Amino acid sequence: MVRNSIHNYFAYRADLNRLAFRRLMRRGRASLLIGLLFPAACLITIKILLGDLGGTWARIVRESLTIAGWVAMWRPMEIYLYDWWPLRRKSRLYQKLSQIPVQIIPKQKSERVSAKNMTEDKDRAAAQPNMSEDEIDRNLMGTFPASDPPSWTLGVERDKQSSSENQTE
């Protein structure tokens, strides 16, 4: 049962990775379409609006549109050159792990945790005396920043409580 669970888990992860790869490729195709149409639109705009105009402003607009067209190609290039490699690598790894032979080896007797040991630890912890709030405050005095009061104070300061009790007496 454990072997099948391990195999099924990694087969499931391989399927999820394949779906993620398909989604990435679909996004890559959409980005590529946009990335091809936008630079074409930029080049057409340059030819129609600027034509053979010379001058500083015409050159700035021409270069800006050219750069914008190339920037539109960034994401498709990134997807098709770099982003798909890790997904394919993970998919292959999960596929291999889904078919790997699994061997279950029981722990040695000395390594096993018995119910008796666990109850003894609980009894030992319960036998330790509880610390008072003053002891906790003294032990933790240097561990908190001045701006962060400890969570167990509930926003009530001890000095105000004791001063109000002294005034009533």
More confident residue, 166 or 67: 67
Q: How far apart are CA 20 and CA 25, in angstroms?
A: 9
Residue 70: domain span: 2-99
Question: What average pLDDT score do residues 64-87 get?
Answer: 91
- pLDDT tens digits, residue range 151-164? 555 555 555 555 55
Token output for 146: 């001045």
pLDDT at 102: 82
> Does residue 154 lie in a domain region?
no
pLDDT at 76: 92
> Does residue 71 lie in a domain region?
yes
Q: How far apart are CA 106 and CA 20, in angstroms?
A: 37
User: 41 falls in which pLDDT band (50, 70, 90)?
Assistant: very high
pLDDT at 119: 58
> Does residue 30 lie in a domain region?
yes
> Does residue 85 lie in a domain region?
yes
pLDDT at 4: 85
User: 26 falls in which pLDDT band (50, 70, 90)?
Assistant: very high
pTM here?
Answer: 0.54
Token output for 14: 């391989």
